[in-house]
Amino acid sequence: MVRNALQRLLQSVLVLLGAALLVFLMLRIIPGNPAAVLMGEHADATVIKRMTEELGLDQPVLVQFFRYIADALRGDFGTSFSLGKPVSELMASAFVNTLILALFASAYAWILGIISGVIAAVKKNSLPDRLFMGASLLGVSMPVFMAAMLLQFFLGYQLKWLPIAGTSDWTGFILPAIALGWNSAGSVARLVRSTLLEILEEDYIDTARAKGRGQMGVLMVHALRNAMLPVITMMAIQLSGMLSGAVITETVFSVNGIGRLAVQAISSRDIPLLQGTVLFSAAIVIIGNYVADSLYNVLDPRIRKEA
């Protein structure tokens, strides 16, 4: 099992390197010299040339890449063109906001999703089932920006319960967290319901009843753990998605997170910053997948054996 874990870790590192190379190359293919953009429209050719040399942009791409990787390993992702600060510093402070947002959003989404999914499955075709599934359909099919604007309008503008945008204190995180988690609450609820319904038909559920387990015991001890296997994978991937920066939510609610930083980087042609944020997102997604894989291994003994 340990060997398997190490093997997958090595794979993850390779995937990350690949992602880094891809990002790097793509940004070099884009026409236009970043140094020229940096120096402004009316800059002198010699100035641009000096800047190009200073940034190392005159070197072959592979040399640039390995230099970048070597620096990145030391925690140095270069300096942002537009903000003039080290990229690592900018990302660290943005990540705090993204982290708070993602944790808020996923905690409420999962609790809501799991509980309503379980109730819907146990009381199949009842009123609560229809209500929850209707709500979750809304959850999975409504785009985030739509939910965000509705929340801003009703809870922020009309009722004035919560700030419309900005994160001057923790209440500012509530609306974006609801908007961001809404979607995953819906998909978790639907997945929990369908897996649980399938599991409740299994023979070992009969066995558990034949043992004398009551409904609650059958559900908690036997059904839920089996039903959670696919759900946990989904949740890990959702969380990594949120942690890698919720571009739309962060932009709509002016949360200074990774997603918003990336958007700023794009609009100001800030290559080091964009490179940093994209690489960071890739790393988070890869870590999320790794964690999901590992959890699956811990939870399902059948997979442990095959590995």
Partner 1 sequence: MADNTLEIRNLNTSFFTQHGEVRAVNDVSLDVRRAQITGIVGESGCGKSMTARSVMGLVRYPGRIVSGRIRLDGKEITGLSKKEMCSLRGNELSMIFQEPMSSLNPVMKVGKQVEETLRIHQHVTKEEAARRTEEIFREVGISDARSRMACYPHQLSGGLRQRVMIAMAMICKPKLLIADEPTTALDVTVEAQILSLMKRLCEGGTSILLISHNLGVIAQVCDYVYVMYAGRIVEQADTCTLFDHPVHPYTRALLGAASSLRSGAARLETIPGGVPNLLHLPSGCSFSPRCEKCARQCQNEVPQMLPVSGEGHLARCYFANVPEE
Q: With beta carbons less than 8 A apart as the criterion, state whether 274 and 27 touch.
A: yes
**Residue selected from 190, 193, 222, 260 as contacting partner 1 according to rule CB under 8 A:** 222
Q: With beta carbons less than 8 A apart as the criterion, state whether 88 and 75 touch.
A: yes
Q: Which is nearer to partner 1, 30 or 216 (CB)?
A: 216
State which of positions 224-253 bind partner 1 (CB under 8 A).
225-226, 229
In this structure, the chain runs to a length of 307
**Residue selected from 87, 188, 208, 235 as contacting partner 1 according to rule CB under 8 A:** 208
Query: Could you say whether residue 217 binds partner 1 (CB under 8 A)?
Result: yes
Which residues contact residue 181 at a Cβ distance below 8 angstroms, ignoring those fewer than 6 apart? Answer: 104, 105, 106, 108, 109, 112
Query: Could you say whether residue 71 binds partner 1 (CB under 8 A)?
Result: no
Piece of 17-25, 115-123, 219-227, 286-294 that binds partner 1 (CB under 8 A) = 219-227
Query: Could you say whether residue 209 binds partner 1 (CB under 8 A)?
Result: yes
| Residue found by looking up tokens 């109730």 in the block | 119
Shortest Å distance, C-beta 301 to partner 1: 4
**Residue selected from 58, 71, 198, 206 as contacting partner 1 according to rule CB under 8 A:** 206
Binding mask 251-280 vs partner 1 (x if CB under 8 A, - otherwise)? ------------------------------
Q: With beta carbons less than 8 A apart as the criterion, state whether 33 and 52 touch.
A: yes
Angle at 222 between CA 103 and CA 122, to 5 degrees: 75
Query: Could you say whether residue 221 binds partner 1 (CB under 8 A)?
Result: yes
Q: What CA–CA distances, in Å, run from 129 to 142, 187, 199?
A: 20, 15, 17
Query: Could you say whether residue 207 binds partner 1 (CB under 8 A)?
Result: yes
Shortest Å distance, C-beta 220 to partner 1: 12
Q: What CA–CA distances, in Å, run from 162 to 38, 145, 171, 257?
A: 39, 17, 7, 19
How far apart, in whole angstroms, are the C-alpha atoms of residue 229 and residue 259?
A: 29
DSSP designation for 202: S
Query: Could you say whether residue 67 binds partner 1 (CB under 8 A)?
Result: no
Query: Could you say whether residue 198 binds partner 1 (CB under 8 A)?
Result: no
How far apart, in whole angstroms, are the C-alpha atoms of residue 197 and residue 50?
A: 67
Query: Could you say whether residue 297 binds partner 1 (CB under 8 A)?
Result: no
Shortest Å distance, C-beta 147 to partner 1: 36
Query: Could you say whether residue 299 binds partner 1 (CB under 8 A)?
Result: yes
Piece of 8-16, 72-80, 271-279, 294-302 that binds partner 1 (CB under 8 A) = 294-302
How far apart, in whole angstroms, are the C-alpha atoms of residue 297 and residue 284?
A: 20
Q: Which residues bind partner 1 (CB under 8 A)?
A: 202-204, 206-215, 217, 221-222, 225-226, 229, 299-302, 305
